[in-house]
Amino acid sequence: MLLASNRTGEMQLYTFRFRDGQMVQLTEEQNVVPFSSVLDPVQHRVYYFAGRTLKCVAAVPWSPPAWMKDNGSAVKGGHVRPEHYDDLALYLKTWVERYTKEYGLNIRWLSIQNEPSNATDYASAVCSFQELNEVAVRVADAFEEAGLSTLIGAPEATTLATTMNFMNSMSREALEKLDYIPTHFYDLAPGDLERYDLRKFSKPLLMTEVCDACGTRQRAVMPSAAPSCISVIL
């Protein structure tokens, strides 16, 4: 996994060293330009601030394994087949257990599916409101039965409006089992945080993606924050 640092004012490539959570410089290449996303799924390149120890991980699958899906592919959307809901829960639980045990990572947050309404040419999967509701229950139950402390979140939709639609469609059971609400802030406009007020669900809100190149309007409404975790693709 490649990383880039602006610690010295110049972008340089780093790698993440699992055993101690340190960022290790790879090259002297200068002025590496990061992509608009924190993680570029094509290049498998992640941009993060070096000189910090990785304290926790926010993980999100962009696609379940192809054999679980109705289109037989990890790309171009596709739905998880209902008979594989428990398999998906086991898959996510096993991933967290392995990376916790073998690499000592603190997988603090796990979002069930990245942008569940978007079928893209890269790794993706789509879920209806009911499908995500059912999968959320299965995943949360699997983690609870395993005694894992990882917090389970959904829906990680593209915009606050889409996130609100998914949340409004959640059953009482699913809402009780979710620990937090992950969302992306694409197309964020002034007043959106009030217009789509997710506080009514009484869950912590975690913004996991935003576009730095979406114009001054979006940058103007974004709160400033220093990242303390890194998102990874499963």
Phi and psi angles of residue 31, each rounded to the nearest 5 degrees, phi first: 55, 40
More confident residue, 117 or 232: 117
Residue 32 and residue 40 in contact, taking contact as beta carbons nearer than 8 Å: no
More confident residue, 47 or 196: 196
Phi and psi angles of residue 22, each rounded to the nearest 5 degrees, phi first: -95, 155
Note the pLDDT of residue 106.
Answer: 84
Amino acid residing at 54:
L
Note the pLDDT of residue 1.
Answer: 42
How do residues 9-31 score in pLDDT, each as one tens digit? 455 555 555 556 565 555 555 55
Chain-centroid distance, C-alpha 187: 18
Share of the chain above pLDDT 90, in %: 53
HSE (CB half, 13 Å, CA atoms) of 128? Answer: 5
How do residues 172-221 score in pLDDT, each as one tens digit? 999 999 999 999 988 888 899 899 999 999 999 998 887 654 444 444 34
**Burial class of residue 117 (count of CB atoms within 10 Å of its CB; 0-12, 13-18, 19+):** buried
Number of separate helices (H) and strands (E) present in the chain:
6, 11
HEC profile of 171-202:
CHHHHHHCCEEEEECCCCCCCHHHHCCHHHHC
In the structure, what pLDDT confidence band is assigned to residue 101 with cuts at 50, 70 and 90? confident
In the structure, what pLDDT confidence band is assigned to residue 6 with cuts at 50, 70 and 90? very low
SS3 177: helix
Residue 116 and residue 156 in contact, taking contact as beta carbons nearer than 8 Å: yes
In the structure, what pLDDT confidence band is assigned to residue 100 with cuts at 50, 70 and 90? confident
What DSSP element (H or E) covers 206?
strand 205-209
d(CA 88, CA 84): 6
More confident residue, 26 or 78: 78
In the structure, what pLDDT confidence band is assigned to residue 125 with cuts at 50, 70 and 90? very high
Classify residue 74 by its DSSP letter: S
Quick check: 86 pLDDT over 90? yes
Quick check: 53 pLDDT over 90? no
For the entire predicted model, the pTM comes to 0.74
Please list the residues that pair with 25 across neighbouring strands: 14
Classify residue 5 by its DSSP letter: E
Residue 196 and residue 171 in contact, taking contact as beta carbons nearer than 8 Å: no
| Per-chain mean pLDDT for the chain | 78
How do residues 28-43 score in pLDDT, each as one tens digit? 555 544 433 344 444 4
d(CA 117, CA 198): 18
d(CA 180, CA 153): 5
More confident residue, 226 or 12: 12
